[in-house]
Structure 1
Amino acid sequence: METDSSYNLTSTAAPVANIQRPTNTHKYMNTISLIILCLVFLFGTVGNGLVIYVTGFRMKRTVNSIWFLNLALADFLFTSFLIFLIISLAKDYHWPFGWFMCKLSSVIAIGNMFASVFFLTAISVDRCLCTWVVVWSQNHRTVRKAQLICVCIWLASLACSIPYGHSRCVYSRKNFTVCALSLKANKLALTHFQFFMGFLIPMLAITGSYVAIGMRMRRFNRAKSRKSLRIIIAIILAFVVCWVPYHVHKYIEAYGNKDKIVTIRRFLGPLSSNLTTVNSCLNPLLYVFMCDEFIKKLKQSLFHVLETALAEDYLSFATNNSRSNISRLFRRSESGSSNKKNETSATIAETFTQVPTGCGMPSIRPQVREEDNKIVNGQNAVSGSWPWQVSLQESGFHFCGGSLINQNWVVTAGHCRVTPGRHHVVLGEHDHQSNAEQIQVISIARAITHPYYNGQNWVNFNNDVTLLRLASPARMSSRVSPCVWQP
Structure 2
Amino acid sequence: MSVDYIEYDDYTPNNETENNITIDGIHSSSSQTSLTVFLVTANIIICVMGLGGNALVIWICGWKMKRTVVNTWYISLAISDLMFCAILPLEVYYTITSHWPFGLVFCKLTSSALFLNMYSSVFLLVLISTDRCIMVSFPVWSQNHRTVTKAFGAVILMWVLSGFMTLPSLIVRQTKVHGSVTQCYTGYMSHSRHKAVVLTRFICGFLFPILIIVFSCLVLCVKLKSLTMKSTKPYKVIAALIVSFFCCWVPYHTFVLSELDLENNTVEVLNTGLKVGATLAAANSFMSPLLYVFIGNDFKHTLKRSFSSRIEEAMAEDLRTGGFTHSRSKVMEIA
Whether contact under 8 Å (2:46, 2:85) holds in the other structure is yes
Is the Cα–Cα contact under 8 Å of residues 107 and 158 in structure 1 kept in the other structure?
Answer: no
Alignment partner, residue 12 of structure 2: none
Aligned to 1:314: 318
Measure, in 2, the Cα distance between the counterparts of 1:31 and 1:300.
Answer: 34
Structure 2 residue runs of 5 or longer lacking an equivalent are 10-18
What is the RMSD computed on CA atoms of the aligned residues? 2.3
Contact 1:48-1:76 within 8 A present in 2 as well: yes
Letter in 2 for 1:122: L
- Amino acid of the structure 2 residue aligned with 1:146: A
Q: Please give the residue correspondences for 1:239-388 in structure 2 after superposition, counting only pairs within 5 Å.
A: 239-257=245-263, 260-292=265-297, 298-311=303-316, 313-314=317-318, 318-319=322-323
Residues in 1 aligned to 2:150 and 2:229: alpha-carbon distance in whole angstroms: 31
Q: Superposition pairs for residues 104-253 of structure 1, below 5 Å?
A: 104-184=109-189, 186-220=193-227, 222=228, 224=230, 226-253=232-259
CA 1:424–1:136 in 2, change beyond 3 Å: closer, same or farther?
A: farther
Name the aligned partner's letter for residue 86 of structure 1: V
SS at match of 1:254: coil
Task: Give CA deviations for 1:390-419 in whole Å, capped at 9, x if unaligned.
Answer: xxxxxxx2247xxxxxxxxxxxxxxx4x8x
Amino acid at match of 1:314: D
Q: Distance in 1 between matches of 2:274 and 2:156?
A: 33
The answer to whether the aligner puts 1:47 opposite 2:53 as a matched pair is yes
Give the distance between the partners of 2:252 and 2:320, measured in 1 at CA. 32
Q: Secondary structure at the match of 1:178?
A: strand
CA deviation digits over 1:220-243, x for unaligned, max 9?
Answer: 3x4755444111101100100000
Assess, with a 3 A threshold, how the Cα gap between structure 1 residues 165 and 299 changes in structure 2: closer, same or farther. same
Corresponding residue number in structure 2 for 1:472 = none
Code of the aligned partner of 1:111: L
Q: Once the 2 structures are TM-superposed, how far is the Cα of residue 318 of structure 1 from its aligned partner? A: 4.1
- Alpha-carbon distance between aligned partners in 2 of 1:183 and 1:219, rounded to the nearest angstrom: 52
Secondary structure at the aligned position of 2:182 is classed as strand
Amino acid at match of 1:13: I
- The structure with the largest alpha-carbon Rg is 1
Matched, 1:8 2:2: yes
User: Aligned partners of 1:255, 1:318: CA distance in 2, in Å?
Assistant: 50
TM-score, normalised on structure 1? 0.62
1:398 maps to 2:332: no
Would the alpha carbon gap of residues 39 and 23 (structure 1) be closer, same or farther in structure 2, given more than 3 Å must change?
A: same
Aligned residue for 1:103? 108
Equivalent AA in structure 1 for residue 325 of structure 2: H
Say whether the 8 Å CA contact 2:69–2:151 is kept in structure 1. yes
The TM-score with structure 2 as length reference comes to 0.88
Query: Alignment length, in residue pairs?
Result: 320
Name the aligned partner's letter for residue 168 of structure 2.
Answer: P
Q: Secondary structure at the match of 1:281?
A: helix
Does structure 1 conserve the Cα–Cα contact (< 8 Å) formed by 2:229 and 2:325?
Answer: no
How far 1:106 moved relative to its partner?
1.6
* Cα pair 1:14 1:181 within 8 Å, conserved: yes
Equivalences for residues 33-44 of structure 1 within 5 A: 33-44=39-50
- Relative to its length, the structure with more helix (as a share) is 2
Residue 133 of structure 1 aligns with an amino acid whose one-letter code is: F
Amino acid at match of 2:220: I
Q: Give how far 1:74 is off.
A: 0.2
| Corresponding position: 1:59 with 2:65 | yes
1:15 positional shift: 3.4
Rounded to whole Å, the distance in 2 between the matches of 1:302 and 1:184 is 48
Higher relative contact order (CA 8 A, sep 6+): 2
Unaligned runs of 5+ in 1: 1-6, 320-396, 401-415, 427-431, 436-487
Structure 2 vs 1, CA of residues 160 and 61 (structure 1 numbering), >3 Å: closer, same or farther? same
Is the 8 Å Cα contact of residues 29 and 266 (structure 1) preserved in structure 2?
A: no
Counterpart CA distance in 2 for 1:306 and 1:210 is 24
* Contact 1:291–1:309 (Cα < 8 Å) also in 2: no
> Which whole-Å CA distance do the structure 1 matches of 2:239 and 2:212 have between them?
14
Amino acid aligned to 2:213:
I
Give the letter aligned to residue 248 of structure 1: T
